[in-house]
Amino acid sequence: MGITRILTAAQMRKADEITIASGLSAFDLMDRAGRIVANSALKCVPDYSRIVVIAGPGNNGGDGFAAACHLRKYRIPVTVVSLVPVDSLSGELKKHANLAVKAGVKVREATSLGAIGEVERWLSRSSIVIDAIFGTGLCRGLGGLMAEVVAKINACDRPVFSIDIASGICSDSGVILGVAVKADMTLPIAATKWGHWLAEGRDYTGRLLDVADIGISDDAIEASWRETCDCDDEQERCFCVNSASLINDEYLKAAWPPRPRLSHKGYFGHVWVFGGSVGFTGAPQLAGLGAYAAGAGLASIICPDEVWPIIASANLEVMTHPESSSAWQKADAIVAGPGWGLERGELLSRLLDTEKPLVVDADALNMVAANPALQSKLANRTALTVITPHPGEAARLLESDIGTVQDDRKQAVLDLVRRYRCWVVLKGSETLVASPDRDIYLNPFGSPQLAIAGSGDVLAGMIGAQLSRQKGDGATLGELISSTVALHAKAGAREGWYLPGELAKLVSEVRQNLERGDGKEK
Ligand SMILES: NC(=O)C1=CN([C@@H]2O[C@H](COP(=O)(O)OP(=O)(O)OC[C@H]3O[C@@H](n4cnc5c(N)ncnc54)[C@H](O)[C@@H]3O)[C@@H](O)[C@H]2O)[C@H](O)CC1
Ligand SMILES: [K+]
């Protein structure tokens, strides 16, 4: 399966070092990056009558010089504006700068604020701007000349192509460090970085192009996870990211293979939703519909007796039982929480004691957050468990606040894993799924249309469906859970729905397209 890895700056540096130690030189890596930048910029922008590269002090700037050199091979007029004196460059940067001059690239320097007028003039003569100011090495906020140049690039009204990451975006968190280039397109070098996806980074990245393969192997990337882990294993269990990848269409195909012709409803699992309370009778029904939409064979609700007649008479599809029923003992998976209220702690405690796969959602999470005994049961559960907090619920579970969760969602998802030792689905724009072993999957699909009451209930039911039929299809649990998040997001991104019940219908359509393998879903 094609996996797109997401790396931190430290992991990228380590993978780079491992590659260099195995025999590929830093000069060659930069040359390869430059060649791919040149070809890719020419493909993206039709008018390349004059290309201006703005080069910073580090290797990102070196990639810019190398790209300029490759562009000259096509006889394209190229100017590199170096923001540091060219004489101060050393190592492979110096070599690539020299080669660029030899190839006929015009090299200009702008090393003080007095040169900003000239930078503006060079930008105004360009047809594309290549941003090679900073990459993964940016470590503090931009100020002075650098900040002014970024402002001029953003104002120049030319297509902007960023090498690796838009300069000014922190590659580990996606936040803007002072000011950042607003790229039209970004070419990630060797791997995508967290900054392409998180916080403001996603908007500043523009179109994220396919990762440039500069010869850094998967093995080097995998080794970089281990070698950048700074936990002391003797003292504590490691809680660094073990691996991080982007959910892609192949995950969805693996999760919804064609249905066997001779299958029956029992084959696809029976999901039981525990939820509903006075005023919240729709939530468990939406979860039940979500379970069917994701492919469950049967869906049932167990609800408090006082709302049982309402829920039972309100829908045809989902079977409904009062709490006194013990029929749920046959469940293949349980979803606890949608619309449940905060009075069901005892029943939740019993569900946590079962060996059934369990999705803990909504009010069940709120009860856990308020009750240390439930927290300890959740953390010590041996059966498969998924918690599905939105940022508010995550904050309660972590005794933190929403701002802290949202400012570092990667850390929040790891903290939830550390505390509750189960699968975590941290919902929101770019939902993160984390395994108990700290493998993280980022969902790039979706739309703000999903920010509506009830959409989380649909998702909880969908995850229940996947847990109820985990057997046999060959997809890993990570693929199953993360592709369920992606299916929900893809359905939500479709036009023409407003009500969460309609979302379940769209989920069903997208899922059936996948199962038919007609490849219509993009
Ligand atoms: N992925 C790879 O294996 C390869 C990546 N390449 C490219 O190299 C950059 C990363 O290079 P690095 O030199 O580490 O970092 P930068 O170019 O981002 O710049 C670091 C440079 O800037 C100084 N600095 C940091 N913050 C500031 C600031 N706010 N103001 C002024 N100066 C600042 C810092 O001290 C350093 O001197 C990666 O993104 C790729 O583009 C390789 O070319 C090929 C291998
Ligand atoms: K850049």
List, for residues 27-84, the tens digit of each pLDDT value.
999 999 999 999 999 999 988 899 999 999 999 999 999 999 999 999 999 999 999 9
| Residue nearest (by alpha carbon) to ligand 1 atom 31 | 142
Ligand 1 centre distance from Cα of residue 35 (Å): 18
Would the pLDDT of 139 be above 60?
yes
Tokens of 324: 């006194």
Ligand 1 centre distance from Cα of residue 16 (Å): 12
Backbone angles phi, psi at 322, to 5 degrees: -75, 165
Backbone angles phi, psi at 40, to 5 degrees: -75, -35
All structural domains of the chain with their residue ranges: 4-227, 243-516
Residue pLDDT, tens place only, 6-29: 999 999 999 999 999 999 999 999
Work out the average pLDDT over 174-186: 96
Q: pLDDT at position 233, please? A: 56
- What predicted TM-score, i.e. pTM, was given to this entire model? 0.91
Residue pLDDT, tens place only, 198-244: 999 999 999 999 999 999 999 999 889 888 877 765 555 667 788 89
**Strand 298-303 to 207-208 pairing:** unpaired
Backbone angles phi, psi at 399, to 5 degrees: 50, 50
The answer to whether the CB of 163 falls within 8 A of the CB of 130 is yes
Scanning 73-217, the segments in alpha helix (DSSP H) are 91-103, 116-124, 144-155, 201-205
Work out the average pLDDT over 97-115: 97
Ligand 2 centre distance from Cα of residue 466 (Å): 40
- Among 5, 31, 138, 211, the mutation site with the greatest number of ligand 1 atoms within 8 A of its Cβ is 138
Residues β-bridged to residue 280: 277
Could you give the CA distance from residue 31 to residue 90 in angstroms, rounded to a whole number?
A: 16
Of the pLDDT bands very low, low, confident and very high (cuts 50, 70, 90), residue 474 is confident
- Homologous superfamily of domain range 243-516: Ribokinase (3.40.1190.20)
Ligand 2 centre distance from Cα of residue 28 (Å): 19
Give the other-Cβ count within 10 Å of 23's Cβ.
7
Q: Which ligand is nearest to the CA of 211?
A: 1
Tokens of 353: 């004691």
Q: Which ligand is nearest to the CA of 183?
A: 2
Scanning 51-209, the segments in alpha helix (DSSP H) are 59-72, 91-103, 116-124, 144-155, 201-205
- As a whole number, the mean pLDDT across the chain is 93
Scanning 206-317, the segments in alpha helix (DSSP H) are 218-227, 249-255, 282-293, 308-314
Residues β-bridged to residue 53: 80, 130
Closest by CA position to 129, among listed 109, 103, 104, 149: 149
Put residue 295 in one of left, alpha, beta given phi > 0 → left and psi -120 to 50 → alpha.
left
Q: pLDDT at position 522, please? A: 44
Q: Would you list which residues are annotated within the binding site?
A: 59-63, 131, 135-141, 164, 167, 283, 339, 390, 427-431, 456-457
Q: Would you list which residues are annotated within the binding site for (6S)-NADPHX?
A: 59-63, 135-141, 164, 283, 339, 390, 457
Could you give the CA distance from residue 154 to residue 504 in angstroms, rounded to a whole number?
A: 41
Ligand 1 atom nearest to 63, measured from its CA: 43
| Residue nearest (by alpha carbon) to ligand 1 atom 14 | 137
Ligand 2 centre distance from Cα of residue 132 (Å): 4
Going by C-beta distance under 8 Å and a sequence separation of 6 or more, which residues neighbour residue 81?
Answer: 52, 53, 54, 55, 108, 109, 110, 119, 122
Considering all CA atoms of the chain, what is the largest pairwise distance in Å, rounded to the nearest integer?
84
Residue 113 CA from chain centroid, whole number: 38
Q: Alpha-carbon torsion 77, 81, 87, 93, what sign?
A: negative
The more confident residue out of 522 and 20 is 20
Of the pLDDT bands very low, low, confident and very high (cuts 50, 70, 90), residue 471 is low
Going by C-beta distance under 8 Å and a sequence separation of 6 or more, which residues neighbour residue 218?
Answer: 5
Q: Would you list which residues are annotated within the binding site for AMP?
A: 427-431, 456
Q: pLDDT at position 264, please? A: 77
| Residue nearest (by alpha carbon) to ligand 1 atom 41 | 60
Ligand 1 pocket, Cβ-based, cut-off 6 angstroms: 12, 16, 29-30, 33, 56-63, 134-142, 146, 163-164, 189-190, 214, 216
Q: Which ligand is nearest to the CA of 171?
A: 1
Q: pLDDT at position 30, please? A: 98
Fold designation for 4-227: Rossmann fold (3.40.50)
| Residue nearest (by alpha carbon) to ligand 1 atom 19 | 58
Scanning 129-198, the segments in alpha helix (DSSP H) are 144-155
Ligand 1 centre distance from Cα of residue 178 (Å): 17
SS3 for 423-461 is EEEECCCCCEEECCCCEEEECCCCCHHHCCCCHHHHHHH
Scanning 315-430, the segments in alpha helix (DSSP H) are 345-353, 362-369, 372-380, 391-397, 402-407, 409-420
Q: With H, G, I as helix, E, B as strand and everything else as coil, classify residue 235.
A: coil
Residue 306 CA from chain centroid, whole number: 41
Could you give the CA distance from residue 452 to residue 379 in angstroms, rounded to a whole number?
A: 30
Residue pLDDT, tens place only, 320-371: 999 999 989 989 999 999 999 999 999 999 999 999 999 999 999 999 999 9
Ligand 2 centre distance from Cα of residue 164 (Å): 6
Q: Is it true that 4-227 and 243-516 share their CATH fold? A: no
Ligand 1 atom nearest to 13, measured from its CA: 3
What are the C-alpha distances in Å from 188 to residues 27, 41, 99, 127?
A: 18, 13, 24, 22
Closest by CA position to 462, among listed 488, 482, 425: 488
Residues β-bridged to residue 330: none
Residue pLDDT, tens place only, 250-292: 889 888 888 887 777 777 899 999 999 999 999 999 999 999 9
Q: Which ligand is nearest to the CA of 137?
A: 1
